[in-house]
Chain A
Amino acid sequence: MDVNVILQAIINGLLTGSYYGLAALGLTLIFGVIKVINFAHGSLLMVGMFACYWVIKLTGWHPYATLLLVVPMLFFFGYAMQGILIKPVLEAQREVREPTEVIIVTTGVWYILDNLALMIFGAEYRVIQTPITGQIFMLGDYIFPKPQLYGFITTAVTSGLLVWFLKFTKMGKSIRAASLDRDAASLMGINQYRVYNIAFGIGAAIAGIVGCVLIPFYYVFPTVGVVFDVKCFIIVVLGGLGSIPGALIGGAIVGLIESIFAQYIASTWTELIVYVVFLAVLFIRPAGLFGEKRDW
């Protein structure tokens, strides 16, 4: 096959993989800190997309300008969700290291959010025209769709900021401490529930960023989260639960597989390849590519 085609497929795979990775980042962060699988992650993404959609619709802003509103909104949404809904369950399950009951709570939130959106906005698909929709950037013969290119840059910036925040700020250090051992962290004077609220808020805020990245080229509808949910879970487990580079690399792997293999076989079958690679990785490295062997 033509080299140009493969190169273009690699470009597409990396661009697509970047926002997959970004979507998985929020999930992996929440899992890494609270040890909770957030089944409502896709719904948070949906909320982010709708928030971005309506801000653009009402104000006509550039989609990336809406981040100023959407990110704080989703942060507080996540903060409140953890503080109001999840905290009581965590407290009741104080003795358990992995509070599985929380999964039920997050699943409930998923259903409630999706159905609320269905009730309020209806099942129809919505696309909004933005200044970058359908725009491309040509480098030689290679096409870089601008919305995806911006998504790639956003992923790089967001993950850079997140790493800096976790490494160098006091709150970041508290989050890491609580993720290593929440009881020990509490003994050191860290308010673990506040740490959890903030970690959850950041996870939700990242979902909001993904929403804004997607809006210029993807459509929004109440169950849009489901499309990305399964992908996020695969990426997070593939890359290693709780690992930030794992999520990004995992996203790139899935994006590249989908893009490159589709040039050789029917795109229906690329999902199969993704799952085969996923199983192979689990078989060789059960903790995922970047996961650490822990006793969780």
Chain B
Amino acid sequence: MKKTFWLTLTSVTVFALAALVLAALPAQAAGPKEVKIGNILPLSGPSASVGIQNQRAIELATEKINAAGGIKSLGGAKLVNIFTDSKGDPNVGVTAAEQLINTDKVSLVSGAWNSAVTLPSTQVAERYQVPYVVPVSVNDTITERGFKYTFRIAAKDSWWAQDQFKFLDEQKKLTKTTLKTIAFVYENGDWGTGMAKQWDILAKKYGYQVVLNEAYPSTASDLTPVVMKIKTKKPDVILLTSNAADAILLTNTMATMKVKAKAIIGTGGGHADPSFRKNTGKNCEYMFDVVEWETDLGRPQIPSLNAEFKKRYGYDLAGESVDAFASVYVIADAIERAKSADPKKIRDALAVTNLCVGKGKLGIDILSYDCVQFDETGQNKNAGIVLVQFQNVKGNMERVTVYPNKVARKGFKAIFPMP
């Protein structure tokens, strides 16, 4: 009898306590204390160096946002990043996405740099209806599959080619140069042949005569035959897509064989590699290159942020780390407006993002274009690309931003046609 009494009393107490705790919980969680962001990046393997740069940019941006009071509509909730290593492997990336969404219960996923990882991992997020922000992965297809939960900040692959032609068109009118013939010279991998296809379409549209369409092996021991061909075709414009070694060899061989053109434009990659400038010296002067971002852009906040980044990590900001940095601001803004850590609400807020330069968002103020806005496919429709020209600035060969005009380096303009 006594035993039953104690047993009843204990169970009642336990239940009452449990009920109390349960009742108290929602009160405590009126706003979540933190919002979890799952990041998938190549932190080891061949693309590790760029993956780690992105990670650091994300950490720095998150730190700045949290220090400034976190998400104000959620009572100052902090952003918390969970980083998982994709090793640049699509399979690992898919597992990482599953784990972040199911186990870590993140509100949103970000990543994955390698297009090959981004493609399948965004599929996972789409299935679970969790928004996936892609700072950089340039493959066109990523935002062309009708996905509702994928948002990309960087420009697509095909936009690089478009900007090359837009730039040529502008210069043609501005300097009254006649540009009729064009040559495509590119490495014979996926990237080069993809670019060449875009060029071919655009050349027709802009009325150029394609006199040379030349794929070469990136590991070539001698590019003189290719250069000879360029020389005999005498194109007005030469468009290049090269990796580091071949960009150097091609440029130096063109100088030796005295190849002249009115404009030579690279497509990032090898031409953007620091070793290119070092190893071609005077031979690269007046060549153009396309890139998503450059440290000399005419944005006043860049120098101080770059100095802070460099002091902490030992190297300059680069286009890709800037996109990663900006992505955290885009994410924070969406959560702020969603007033919730719920993935679906964040997705709806992301879709109507309208973040512009000059509104006190550091991550946006350093971009080369004015506003981040996503179109119905989730692509940032304003994402732009800048053109740089290799110019001799006080004895140093520098990459000088010359296009678009509003972000061009102060006091510099394109020297066109190439002397």
Contact = CB atoms under 8 A, between A and B. Distances in A.
Does B associate with A? yes
Interface of A: 2, 5, 8-9, 12-13, 16, 20, 124-127, 129, 133-134, 136, 143, 145, 217-219, 221, 226-228, 231, 255, 258-259, 262-263, 266-268, 270-271
Given A127-B279, A263-B229, A136 B215 contact: no
Contacts of B256: 134, 136, 143, 145, 217
Of the listed residues A9, A20, A226, the one surrounded by the most CB atoms of chain B closer than 10 A to its CB is: A9
Contacts of B283: 134
A13 B245 CA distance: 21
A8 B228 CA distance: 8
A143 B258 CA distance: 10
Contact of A143 (B214, B220, B245, B257): B257
Contact of B214 (A2, A134, A227, A266): A266
B342 to A, nearest CB: 46
B417 to A, nearest CB: 22
A276 B144 CA distance: 42
Contacts of A145: 224, 256-257
B222 A16 contact: yes
Nearest first, the 5 A-B pairs at minimum CB distance are A262-B225, A127-B279, A268-B188, A267-B216, A268-B215
Contact of B248 (A127, A258, A271): A127
Interface string B200-222: 00000000000001111101111
A281 B33 CA distance: 75
B190 to A, nearest CB: 13
B395 to A, nearest CB: 16
Given A134-B252, A267-B217, A125 B228 contact: no
Given A12-B228, A134-B283, A266-B214, A227 B248 contact: no
A127 B273 CA distance: 14
Contacts of A228: 221
Interface string B221-265: 111111011001000000000001100110010011110000000
Nearest to A147: B256
Interface string B266-280: 000000000100111
Nearest to B232: A5
B404 interface: no
B300 to A, nearest CB: 33
Given A133-B252, A263-B228, A266-B214, 14 more contacts: A13-B225, A16-B222, A126-B279, A127-B278, A129-B281, A217-B252, A217-B256, A218-B249, A228-B221, A259-B225, A263-B225, A267-B215, A267-B225, A270-B225
B245 A125 contact: yes
B266 to A, nearest CB: 16
B215 A258 contact: no
B249 A259 contact: no
A295 B410 CA distance: 74
A188 B406 CA distance: 84
A267 B220 contact: yes
Contacts of B248: 125, 127, 219
Contacts of B215: 266-268
A231 B245 CA distance: 18
Contact of A2 (B222, B232, B281): B232
B344 to A, nearest CB: 45
B217 A268 contact: yes
Contacts of B228: 5, 8-9, 12, 259, 262-263
Given A125-B245, A218-B249, A16 B224 contact: yes
Contacts of A126: 275, 279
Nearest to A20: B221
Contacts of B281: 129
Given A266-B215, A267-B217, A268-B217, A125 B226 contact: no
Nearest to A230: B219
A133 B188 CA distance: 27
Interface centre among B213, B224, B229, B257 (most CB of A within 10 A): B224
A125 B279 contact: yes
A9 B226 CA distance: 10
Contact of B226 (A217, A267, A271): A267
A9 B214 contact: no
A262 B230 CA distance: 11
A46 B174 CA distance: 49
Nearest to A259: B225
Nearest to A265: B214
A126 B258 CA distance: 23
A143 B219 CA distance: 24
Contacts of B225: 9, 12-13, 258-259, 262-263, 267, 270
B244 to A, nearest CB: 6
Contacts of A262: 225-226, 228-229
B255 A134 contact: yes
Contacts of A255: 222
Contacts of B229: 262-263, 267
A149 to B, nearest CB: 12
Nearest to A145: B256
Contacts of A271: 217
Contacts of B224: 12, 16, 145, 259
B343 to A, nearest CB: 41
Contacts of B221: 16, 20, 218, 227-228, 231
A14 to B, nearest CB: 11
7 contacts: A5-B228, A12-B224, A12-B225, A126-B279, A259-B225, A267-B226, A268-B215
A2 B229 CA distance: 12
A118 B213 CA distance: 35
Interface string B2-25: 000000000000000000000000
A227 B279 contact: no
Contacts of A16: 221-222, 224
A133 B253 CA distance: 10
A2 B256 CA distance: 21
Nearest to A125: B275
B314 to A, nearest CB: 15
Nearest to B282: A134
Nearest to B274: A124
Nearest to B283: A134
B176 to A, nearest CB: 31
Contacts of B213: 266
A103 B278 CA distance: 38
Contacts of B232: 2, 5, 263
Contacts of B188: 268
